[in-house]
Amino acid sequence: MPDSPFTFVIPAPGAIPSRVDNHIQRRLSAMQGQFLDQVAYAKMLSESDRLIYEVYEIQRPQIEGELLMGISIVHPGKVGQEFYMTKGHFHTVLETSEVYYCLQGEGYMVMETPEGETSVESLAPGKVLYVPPRWAHRSVCSSRQQDLITFFIYPGNAGHDYGTIEQLGFRKLVIEGENGIEIIDNPRYQAR
Ligand SMILES: [Fe+2]
């Protein structure tokens, strides 16, 4: 891993960085237990293991002082009424933050703290979102046609805690209701 300055390009459209060290693809099967409508989930999964989101990482040492960057692409689609989304995570080092810069699409960042504060911020091209320390975060693509594409940057020592969200879920969900996009309380949320 070179320790000299480097550049890369995030071309539009598509936004696949010109430098990529790791490409993660998360399919429906990796989202077990996350979507509200488990019947719709099982039915979809029996048909095909669809691609839900992708992450392109620029790797750096995972230590304090470094910054980790990449591109997140959440594809359009729904499971039941619920939009495609990322698994979402807390940082293992809870007192670390993250910046997201939205490049393309429409969506939301669903966030919460261990103490139960919640926030859901809309994302649109050009919008920068600062996720403070302690806030778990999940991206949701609410467009019917377009990918939600964000550039992210976070401290090298942050780490990912996916397990807490896998067990508890998020307190808030983004769904398509009868009157359009709705942010609702998650009826399946498991209290700590
Ligand atoms: Fe993060």
Residue 68: the pLDDT is 98
Distance 39 CA to ligand 1 centre (A): 29
Structure confidence at residue 46 as a pLDDT band (50, 70, 90): very high
Structure confidence at residue 1 as a pLDDT band (50, 70, 90): low
Distance 122 CA to ligand 1 centre (A): 17
Mean pLDDT of 10-39: 95
- Quote the pTM value: 0.96
Distance 61 CA to ligand 1 centre (A): 16
Query: Which candidate, 74, 68, 63, places its Cα nearest to that of 25?
Result: 74
Cα gap 27→74, rounded to integer Å? 11
Assess whether pLDDT exceeds 70 at residue 7: yes
Distance 89 CA to ligand 1 centre (A): 6
Query: What percent of the chain lies above the pLDDT cut of 70?
Result: 99
* Residue range 148-192, pLDDT digits in tens: 999 999 999 999 999 999 999 999 999 999 999 999 999 999 887
Cα gap 110→130, rounded to integer Å? 12
Dump strand ranges (E) for the chain.
22-27, 51-58, 67-74, 78-79, 82-83, 90-91, 98-104, 107-112, 118-123, 128-131, 136-141, 148-155, 160-161, 172-177, 180-185
* Residue range 29-38, pLDDT digits in tens: 999 999 999 9
Query: Which candidate, 129, 128, 104, places its Cα nearest to that of 119?
Result: 129
Distance 47 CA to ligand 1 centre (A): 31
Mean pLDDT of 131-145: 97
Assess whether pLDDT exceeds 70 at residue 115: yes
Supply the mean pLDDT for the chain: 96
